[in-house]
Chains A and B, each alone.
Chain A
Amino acid sequence: MDSLKSREILEILEKDSRTTAETIAGMLGLAPTQVKAEIDRFEQEGIIKHYATTIDWEKAGVEKIIAFVDITVVPARDVGFDSIALRIARHPEVTSAWLVSGGSDLSIMVEGTSLKDLANFVAEKIAAVDGVTGTNTHFLLRKYKEDNVLFHDIEPDNRLVMSP
């Protein structure tokens, strides 16, 4: 398949992972079997990692405590940051982990059910890791946008029902 179409399949799924292979095929002028095969390949090769849903938990009435933690690290010989980063990232409380430029080295997102839980987790399982020289924790107060979606009410379609 040509690489532009492959990329477009990924872009469509990134926007809405529930778009069916049939619909994507319709959109791109391909056969559904071609699209299915391509998506299978993406999954097998780990290009598509998984299919998730963006949820407004606050609206759902579920309390979640989220924090961003900036971590400074002494890189280890040979493996650099990778070894420490993975050691940290494997914890289920850590929902995302990135190597970043600037004042800190790693930036992670952690999620828990209470402020105390999260604070303890950071103190005991992150700050205490060999090679970690400092942490700076920012608690999330409100979400405005996530995964390209604004967290506010959708504006209705105000267009005239018919126009020239």
Chain B
Amino acid sequence: MPEKNISGQNLKSLSKTASELPQSGIRRFFDIASQMANVISLGVGEPDFATPWTVREAAIYSIEKGQTTYTSNLGLIELRREISKLNFKRYGVEYNPDTEILITTGVAQGLDLVARALLDPGDEVIIPEPCFVSYKPCVSLAGGIPVPVETNDTNNFQVSLAELEKKVTPRTKAILIGHPSNPTGAILERETLIEIVNFACKHGLYIISDEIYDRLTFDGDHVMVASLPGAFERTITLNGFSKTYAMTGWRIGYACAPPEILHTMMKIHSYTMLSAPTPGQKAALEAARRGERDAVLMAAEYKRRRSLIVGGLNEIGLTCLNPGGAFYAFPSVRSTGLTSEQFAEQLLYSKQVAVVPGSVFGLGGEGHVRCSYATDSKLLKEALVRIGSFVDELSKVSVQPQSPKQKTDQLV
């Protein structure tokens, strides 16, 4: 047996790719916030509702009946049929449940599968930022090279075609978008999406479209990318049950794509996951069949909270666009003179309100913080009061600026 010692002399190093993978910027704040009492967290990326009872009850029943074996690699056929029907009903897009839909362990696993199915080492994926924290790591782990493109609040976080054209190279294989967006809450307008599709067609690219927040749009209907002319054959749609039906912990998502792409993803899935968890799939089936009432009620509640928080933040002087979807507000904190990290850290220490610095979401995120409104409206109001007094106090002390460096040092 090879001898191990502390300096690891007799042990080879871990994977270079994995070791160099940056740790999520949320981690440090998580560690601070979880040690604190009386924290109001606007840092949570999941619904505050429990999964609808009809769904939980169906899952319990299924477990009682002993339905605890593997399912087919693709997932329960009944569930794939329901997903196919819902896609057709909502967006007019027809995916064959036998060959074009794969049940995944959340969108996160779907992303990993897509990246591995599409990419060879050195292939590039264009990713508009700010974006969900998993996008770049999934591409890197598959051997690909993430190529970020900045979007920002001056253009409502819409992707510019000119910027995309600047980034495209012979190695570009795909473009990866998430809309409505975590963290900005922005929706991509139909015109922007059409430009993206045309851009992808022109360069022969795949489109990976994460649409997990599709049912949380508040000012109009979501546009499914695959429904746009020319998009279907090159688009992999990722979606799931987590946000619409408050089912994050069940880990059930799905990927929809033309047969060849989907088959390749399914092969990887069959070796690395086998099948998504069966109780979760049974629960998702119930959600697809009878979860609509709850989904609509929850969406209505998010819409009210959006109005509360966006109004409140703007009143405080933290300029905030009205996000079209998801459950995040992404206000600018530039008026305070602080970076987004400083803002988040000082707010947490002085007022016990947790927000996520925009910088962790990539280009265009600096100068913003992400405020999740998946929190009871009473707590939201209290959080707004605290943020308001924090900003007030900042503007008072700014006459004699403290050294932010010193403050930071105490915390590390």
- On chain A, the residues within 8 Å of B43 by CB distance are 161-163
Judged by a CB distance under 8 angstroms, whether A86 is at the interface is no
Bound Cα distance from A23 to B309, whole angstroms: 11
Q: Is the CB–CB distance between A28 and B356 below 8 Å?
A: no
Bound Cα distance from A29 to B30, whole angstroms: 33
Instruction: Given A161-B44, A164-B133, check contact A12 B304 (CB 8 Å).
Output: yes
Instruction: Given A28-B307, A155-B50, check contact A164 B132 (CB 8 Å).
Output: yes
- On chain A, the residues within 8 Å of B41 by CB distance are 159, 161-162
Judged by a CB distance under 8 angstroms, whether B292 is at the interface is no
- On chain A, the residues within 8 Å of B381 by CB distance are 23
> What are 18 of the A-B contact pairs (CB < 8 Å)?
A8-B304, A23-B381, A26-B307, A26-B311, A26-B312, A27-B304, A28-B304, A29-B307, A160-B30, A160-B44, A161-B39, A161-B43, A161-B44, A162-B29, A163-B26, A163-B43, A163-B46, A164-B133
- On chain A, the residues within 8 Å of B307 by CB distance are 26-29
Q: Is the CB–CB distance between B39 and A159 below 8 Å?
A: no
- Least distance between B370 CB and chain A CB atoms (Å): 10
A-contacting residues of B (Cβ < 8 Å)?
24, 26, 29-30, 33-34, 39, 41, 43-46, 48, 50, 132-134, 182, 300, 304-305, 307-308, 311-312, 354, 356, 377, 381
Bound Cα distance from A157 to B48, whole angstroms: 8
- On chain B, the residues within 8 Å of A28 by CB distance are 304, 307
Shortest Cβ distance from A12 into B: residue: B304
Chain A: interface secondary structure?
loop
- On chain A, the residues within 8 Å of B30 by CB distance are 160-163
- On chain B, the residues within 8 Å of A163 by CB distance are 26, 30, 43-46
Q: Which 9 A-B pairs have the closest CB atoms?
A: A27-B304, A162-B43, A162-B30, A26-B308, A163-B45, A164-B133, A161-B33, A161-B41, A29-B307
- On chain A, the residues within 8 Å of B134 by CB distance are 164
Q: Which listed residue (B33, B50, B182, B377) contacts A27, Cβ 8 A?
A: B377
Q: Which listed residue (A8, A27, A164) contacts B45, Cβ 8 A?
A: A164
- Least distance between B384 CB and chain A CB atoms (Å): 9
Q: Contacts A26-B312, A163-B46 given; 20 further ones with Cβ under 8 A?
A: A12-B304, A26-B307, A26-B308, A27-B304, A27-B305, A27-B307, A27-B308, A28-B304, A28-B307, A29-B307, A29-B311, A159-B44, A161-B34, A162-B44, A162-B356, A163-B26, A163-B43, A163-B45, A164-B26, A164-B132
Instruction: Given A23-B377, A27-B308, A164-B26, check contact A159 B48 (CB 8 Å).
Output: yes
- Least distance between A123 CB and chain B CB atoms (Å): 40
Bound Cα distance from A23 to B307, whole angstroms: 10
Bound Cα distance from A164 to B242, whole angstroms: 13
CB within 8 Å of B: which A132-163 residues: 155, 157, 159-163
Q: Which listed residue (B26, B46, B182, B308) contacts A159, Cβ 8 A?
A: B46
- On chain A, the residues within 8 Å of B39 by CB distance are 161
Query: Looking at A157, A162, A163, which has the most chain B CB atoms within 10 Å of its CB?
Result: A162
